[in-house]
Amino acid sequence: MTESSAWPGLPSGPKGAPNVLVIMTDDVGYGACSTFGGPIETPHLDRLAAEGLRYTQFHTTAMCSPTRASLLTGRNPHHVQMGRIANRPTGFDGYTSVIPKSAGTVAKILGMNGYSTAMFGKSHLTPDWELTPLGPFDRWPTGLGFDYFWGFPGFDTNMWAPQLIENTTYIEPPKDTPLRHFDGLLADRTIEWIAQQRAVAPERPFFAYYATGTAHTPHHAPEEWMRKYRGRFDKGWDQMREATFARQKACGAIPQDAKLTARPDAVQSWDSLSERERKTAARLMEAYAAALDYCDHEVGRVLDSLREMGEFDNTLVIFIQGDNGGSAEGGLEGFLYEQSWTNALPEDPDYVFENLDKVGGPDAYSHFPAAWGWAMNTPFQYYKQVASHFGGMRNGMVMSWPDGFKGATGDRSQFHHVSDVVPTVLEAAGIRAPGVIDGVEQDPMDGISMLYSAAQDGASKKSMQLFECLENFAIYKDGWMANVVPSENPWADMTTRKPSPDARTRPWELYHIAQDYSQAVDLAEENPGKLEELKALFWSEAEREKIAPLHGPIERTKDKPMLARGKDSFTFRPGVKRLHHDAAPLTQGRSFEIEADVEIAEGQGNGVLVSQGSKFSGYTFYMKDGHLVFHYNAVLPNCFEVRSPATVAAGRHSLKVRFDIDEPKVCAGGSMTLFIDGQAVAEARAARTLRTFSNQDGFNVGCDTVTPVCPDYTIATSAFDARLATVTVRLM
């Protein structure tokens, strides 16, 4: 009898398999960056394209989470239950935001085959009700197959004070002085991880997914980059679209016979704006441009690090410039604070103009006007959310793999979709998609590999693709495109949107994309037979893909699982930090009281008892120099405060604030009353309240986190300096 070794084997990847780096930016239209003829300088993507392959007919899904789910699973978004963004599920099949275990991610598959895997940046794939410190973590990045995650979970983050998670732990952003931008921190962490991976396990290839939040709201950029773009957009969006269109033809990003589509009726002309409106709009656009240029700079650091390590030539880089088209969510005027939009609070144009110097910096959370989003999607119609038209979902893409492409460079015009990324990566790695993962039979992938296109430009092997987002839908089939006409503007308040007219009776358009690159000439009347053929095909495939039946944008969203739903009383102790707003007391639209049991010694009486939100919206109940204060930040400059006239004596006390709402509806105002040991000591009014809290900083007990809700304290001084036994929140 021979004795065999019981030592476990070390993981190793397929022999000769490439490293893989997938990069995706956010809310960047086809006509934004210089690589595809846009006005924003992206020299590192320019170089990658010049030395690799530039794809001119690549498509996303028109919105964040659906694109990201499709990117990582190789399946169309509704097939993996991500027909809406992760925080706005409807509960219908195809729209739950719960990625099934039958849709294993590329990270999971590569990890099973010896790859080291990591995600950096924006996730936006986890249902809200799972974003608690206790999980469950199945649909956090580490549960989706990534060995390591460093980034943020939601739809955006403050680039100057990011909402950070490392693996499954909420962490505080660095307290660098001066503040450092998230994109710089992101590049640092990615470079460090790759260097560590190559040092520890050089025999294993790596897969890194780098998903910066740029250029989604907020449009933040270092001052050096802001200065670079000062004055560049003073001629406006109409002129910018024409100039971009000319550059696109000159650089080959669009065919010479492509047509420039007209401005949508809902979008105003630049000439119709007043001088002050033009200055505001131009400054808001400067921040977007500066943010994207700076993002490219930091991506360049990551690419240069691979070159310095000698890893670049055997690294497959897939760079997708945008998870959807340029955004129109800023509305016709743009905004200084995104929280104004999410709370249906119109901003005072004079206030915005007077605070333009804040744009790009840590005291703004801005978005440009819708017309700039349209201009960034040149030459196409419409914008983000509109999956029926290329302005919503045609994005620039570049692939580079010197060892694999054997010197092939140039443009590729094959029609492809974000679901094709996983099959491409697996073919490059020489890995077959598994039929079973962790005992769960896997659903087939919808995507196909794009590697065939590296050899030469030519016919596409992808013959059909369906699109749907917020009831805007289309079908591509063998060079033809049939699509509905959008029924809503993206800046419309989503909470009050009604379902679109009967989906089967909506007006359709027909385009021969093989001859009409920009979807400019509607052939519906000229070729009704072809349109009916494609409509019938769409509806038959929509059932199979879980797109149909269609539902309103947030239909049943209010019924999604919420840990705090149905609870009227909560008791907390110190140590609760960054609790997600769906797990915190739901104070919106109702009366409530917050009571703290404290014991104060002589010389104490500073710090936060309870806070929720961020410097851009939220509330905080705290003490300052012995005075009791409740501050309600209903988005600047709408801040309301009540403060005790006398200090709180040393000893054991019950400290309470009661908010009595004027009427039981969100955003309603009300009265704020402070109590010390049951005695009312001060009262004031809040003219309005919030519909939704900032997704950034969460609910905290005994301190504030990330950014302070009010300027009376800093994060460093926010910890309550006396004994805090409990905090009780009662909803009335």
Task: Determine how many CB atoms are found less than 10 A away from the CB of residue 676.
Answer: 17
Omega before 215 within 30 of 0, i.e. cis: yes
* Average pLDDT over every residue of 266-284: 98
Q: Which residues contact residue 318 at a Cβ distance below 8 angstroms, ignoring those fewer than 6 apart? A: 20, 21, 22, 23, 397, 398, 399, 421, 424, 425
pLDDT reported for residue 11: 87
pLDDT reported for residue 492: 87
* Average pLDDT over every residue of 200-229: 98
Q: Residue 234 burial (CB < 10 Å; 0-12/13-18/19+)?
A: middle
> Token digits for 37?
């003829």
Separation between Cα atoms, residue 437 and residue 60, nearest integer Å: 26
Give the residue extent of every domain in the chain: 19-454, 468-557, 562-731
Above 90 in pLDDT, residue 496?
no
Residue 47 DSSP SS3: helix
Map tokens 């490219």 to a residue. Answer: 296
**Residue 599 to residues 33, 278, 346, 572, Cα–Cα distance (Å):** 58, 55, 43, 16
pLDDT digits (tens, 9 = 90+) for 147-182: 999 999 999 999 999 999 999 999 988 888 789 999
Residue 676's H or E segment, with its range, is strand 670-676
Separation between Cα atoms, residue 638 and residue 650, nearest integer Å: 33
Above 90 in pLDDT, residue 500?
no
Domains 19-454 and 562-731 share a fold: no
pLDDT reported for residue 499: 67
- The answer regarding whether domain 19-454 maps to CATH 3.40.720.10 reads yes
* Average pLDDT over every residue of 516-531: 99
CATH class of 562-731: mainly beta
> Token digits for 589?
């639209």
pLDDT reported for residue 701: 98
* Average pLDDT over every residue of 632-638: 97
Question: Is residue 663 very low, low, confident or very high in pLDDT (cuts 50, 70, 90)?
Answer: very high
Task: Determine how many CB atoms are found less than 10 A away from the CB of residue 114.
Answer: 18
pLDDT reported for residue 552: 84
pLDDT digits (tens, 9 = 90+) for 319-361: 999 999 999 999 999 999 999 999 999 999 999 999 999 999 9
- 578 torsion bin: left (phi>0), alpha (psi -120 to 50), beta (else): left
Q: Tell me the fold of 468-557.
A: Arylsulfatase, C-terminal domain (3.30.1120)
pLDDT reported for residue 231: 98
* Average pLDDT over every residue of 386-397: 99
> Token digits for 107?
């990270």
Q: Which residues contact residue 430 at a Cβ distance below 8 angstroms, ignoring those fewer than 6 apart? A: 14, 16, 17
pLDDT digits (tens, 9 = 90+) for 543-600: 999 999 998 887 888 889 988 999 999 999 999 999 998 899 999 999 999 999 999 9
* Average pLDDT over every residue of 674-678: 99
pLDDT reported for residue 2: 60
pLDDT reported for residue 218: 98
Share of the chain above pLDDT 90, in %: 92
Mean pLDDT in the chain? 96
Separation between Cα atoms, residue 366 and residue 281, nearest integer Å: 11
- Comparing C-alpha atoms, which of 655, 605, 659 is closest to residue 634? 659
- What is the pTM (predicted TM-score) of this model? 0.97
pLDDT digits (tens, 9 = 90+) for 444-474: 999 999 999 999 999 999 999 999 999 999 9
Give the type of residue at 317.
V
pLDDT reported for residue 553: 82
24 DSSP β-pair partners = 320
